[in-house]
Amino acid sequence: MSTVSTPKHVYIFGNGKADGDGSMKPLLGGKGANLAEMSRIGLPVPPGFTITTEVCKHYYSHASTYPMELLAQAKAGIAHIEELMGQKFGDRTGMPLLVSVRSGARDSMPGMMDTILNLGLNEDTVAALARATGNERFAWDCYRRFVQMYGSVVMGVQKRSREDRDPFEDAIHELHGAEIEDSKLTTADLKAIVVRFGKLVKEHTGKEFPADPLEQLDGAIGAVFRSWMNDRAMVYRRKYNIPSDWGTAVTVQAMVFGNTGDRSGSGVAFTRDPATGENVLYGEFLIDAQGEDVVAGVRTPEPVALLERHLPEAFGELVSIRARLEHHFRDVQDFEFTIQDGKLYMLQTRNGKRTGLAAVRFAFEMEKEGLIDWKTAIRRVPADQLDQLLAPVFDAAALKGAPCIARGLPAGPGAASGKMYFSAERASAAAKRGESVILVRSETSPEDLRGMIAAKGILTAKGGVSSHAALVARQMGKVCVCGAGALRIDYAARTLTVGGKAYHEGASISIDGTAGTVYPGEIKTAPSEIVQVLIEKSLKAEDSYTYRMFSQLMDWCSQVTRLQVRTNAETPDQVENGMAFGATGIGLARTEHMFFQGDRIDAMREMILADNLDDRKKAFAKLLPYQKEDFVGIFKALKGYPATIRFLDPPLHEFLPHETVAQKNLSRKMGVPVEKIWARVNELEESNPMLGFRGCRLGIVYSEISEMQARAVFEAAAEVEKSGIPARPEIMIPLVGFKRELDLQVEVVRRVAEEVMTENKMNLSYLVGTMIEVPRGALTADDIAHTAEFFSFGTNDLTQTCLGMSRDDSGSFLPAYMELDIVKKNPFETIDQEGVGQLIRMAVEKGRGTRQGLKLGICGEHGGDPESVKFCHRVGLTYVSCSPFRVPVARLAAAQAALEDEAGGK
């Protein structure tokens, strides 16, 4: 029998103590856990309490009701705050206690959910607040803000569409004209506004605005829970793969005020620069302002370094706290602070979001500083952001003549050119049409999220480095320039005006998120420093700090990785690029790509148009030297690393021209009647070419194809071996579903290998294996492994067949599927682990059951996706293969996967 105990729904903190700690993020949310932790290490945190995520789950599974014990525990929490603050909730005489009510999920979801400030105000307490602070205008401004926020968030008095105007703002404008600034409102104005707001709430909802602070609290808690399921939170979660069942915690905390005068202020800061990674205190603040004002982007804040001039003491304390935070959390912190009448309060801390570049620099430098070890350094770099370091920058020469039309804050490094759009909807639509898009807004809000996802770059006229735009861009790795104040955007006219010149929506624009500069038109880009060092060799390693950090990171990765990374390559250049980035061989050489170059396509077409075996063989005889030459180049470039060579895969009609003019040209060139070409094209047409006459089906029906390809491979291998370089071909037969398909093709390959070895009086070592890319191949992998010396998972086609979903056609419904949460991620980008993953696991198990130590790889485009790479590691593949420029990303993901094993799996 277990003893029955009251479940604990509320965790208090403050005054150097706390019920919870930083490890309790799943229960208390990131904000709640870190407030507890800060309190425990003695940082100045206003007291408060956190309602757990369990309560949120209860709320959703019990028709939006709270557990019965919650009210009592929340009251106890309020009593705890009252005690530490020496104030009373609803006090009509002394200084009344006001609280904030904030959301806090396990992972930060900045700006996605709702917050209520100044809760506890009513007709009575506002008067008490005025008396206690001696500042009536301040008190009524707090009250006005509270009623507006509560009325909108909790009571649902909101604009009905994006084009609609906010009813509260409308009410202010009715009373005081459209363009009045908040700061110009008098106490009398504010009082009148609050009265008008009360009526507005009554008109919209039929209810009175609640005066009882406890009733207010009750409503606010529910509103925060509800905001967990609002549209933008759901979009965000889908993008970042946050499960809906985590829920949010709610933190209730004593209000402190940054807006009580010029010895007060609010700010947000990072312990280091989250854009460039530089080790400097970085952030911004506003004097006489609440925190919301800093983030909102309405007043442009000042850099945090300038705080020293205004409030040197508080600044000194901040610098010391910065060091304590990093030392304690061992990671760069993003924190909020408020200074009330000279006293500094910490309102929140969390690990700072960062660009890929900053992540690398943080990791690199913190390891050097001894704050973290090298394994932690590897874990700290989000693998999918590493390629930001490889992204192009503007070409120096092209940039030289370009007129910089505006400057802003460099909020997301990199260079981007595209067509400008002023609305998220149109930006998103343009991206769907295939355009490169720069989203241009005065400022962004969570409602712009879809447009930001669609854009290559983001440019705003207002807001600083901790504005919504900067925050989101940083996280997504978008190029971003913020707060370029010279820009004037007219949404109605769809124009951007700067320096007296108007640019219309759809015009080209270029932004440099590393320099913070804006240029009209498209500007040519140049490779990143790393590419200049490794590939172009136009820059020395020691001259590039970026390269040195990158190189160190890759070296660390090599020390833990078990999963090899190969590259997809068809030319010596591609091989060299992949190897420069650390690939250990080719995982996929698509031989058909080689047939499209120069005259080769003619021989290929001759083959396809041939009526009989002899003519086909003649055509192949012409292709053989080309193909052999290709393989010689590849083997030489590989310097002894293995090359997985896939035999002809696409349907033959892909090699014939489909348009009349091209068919006529071909007819003249080949001396073949155009009717014959036309007839053959028609004959080869298929209703579902993906599932048609392709892959090994070609090599089986026309074994001369495989014979020619095998001869080219082995003759090339023999030639390269003779030059002293080992050649390690791994011949891969595509689209195998039946063991006997592979048997028949392997028979041809081995026969040709024997012939070439005899002709050259030498031995060649090679493997023959297959792609597993139709479900039947996976299901009968035990059988197929009797013949196959390796498997390579062709996850593109395996996804298409397993899901019955054509990649080319899924555009018509996949977006809806993502909206509706049917798929979490695009299955053509990240392996569908539940479905396709099952087939892969099955094939691995069955294949290795038959042939111990069977070599296993993946060559679909998922090979460069970090989540998929980690999956491949977990199921025990030997290698992944991806395009040359994705190799570093895959290497980092592979290293992180190995570290997850060390940590006992994830």
- Contact, 827 vs 805, CB < 8 A? yes
Report the C-alpha gap between 38 and 29 in whole angstroms.
Answer: 14
b vs e for 594-617, b when ≥16 Cβ sit within 10 Å of the residue's Cβ? bbeeeebbebbbbbbbbeeeeebe
- Contact, 87 vs 201, CB < 8 A? no
The neighbour count for residue 820, using CB atoms within 10 Å, is 10
Q: Which residue of the set 859, 872, 873, 882 is catalytic?
A: 859
Tokens 């913190």 map to which residue?
366
DSSP reduced 3-state for 817:
helix
Question: Vertex 563, ends 557 and 568: CA angle to 5°?
Answer: 100
Would residue 859 show up in a list of annotated catalytic residues for this protein? yes
Shorter beta-carbon distance to its own copies: residue 66 or 702: 702
Q: Which residue of the set 80, 468, 862, 873 is catalytic?
A: 468
639 Rama sector, left if φ>0, alpha if ψ -120 to 50, beta otherwise: left
The CB-of-239 to its own copies minimum distance in angstroms stands at 18
Shorter beta-carbon distance to its own copies: residue 53 or 706: 706
- Contact, 53 vs 246, CB < 8 A? yes
640 Rama sector, left if φ>0, alpha if ψ -120 to 50, beta otherwise: left
Tokens for 663?
């068919």
- Looking at this protein, which amino acid is placed at residue 196? R
Chain positions contacting its own copies, by CB under 8 A? 686-693, 695, 697, 700-701, 735, 737-738, 740-741, 744, 773-776, 779-780, 783, 797, 800-806, 808-810, 812-813, 816-817, 820-823, 832, 834-836, 838-839
- 508, β-bridge pairs: 419
Shorter beta-carbon distance to its own copies: residue 147 or 784: 784
- 193, β-bridge pairs: none
The CB-of-878 to its own copies minimum distance in angstroms stands at 24
Tokens for 810?
């899924």
- Contact, 318 vs 482, CB < 8 A? no
Tokens for 295?
């983030």
Shorter beta-carbon distance to its own copies: residue 120 or 794: 794
b vs e for 304-329, b when ≥16 Cβ sit within 10 Å of the residue's Cβ? beebeeebeebbebbeebbeebbebb
Report the C-alpha gap between 22 and 174 in whole angstroms.
Answer: 47
Report the C-alpha gap between 561 and 572 in whole angstroms.
Answer: 26
Tokens for 30?
């990131």
The CB-of-830 to its own copies minimum distance in angstroms stands at 15
Report the C-alpha gap between 684 and 686 in whole angstroms.
Answer: 6
What 3 state SS string does 382-431 have?
CHHHHHHHHCCEECHHHHHCCCCCEECEEEECCEEEEEEECCHHHHHHHH
Annotated active-site positions, please?
Answer: 468, 859
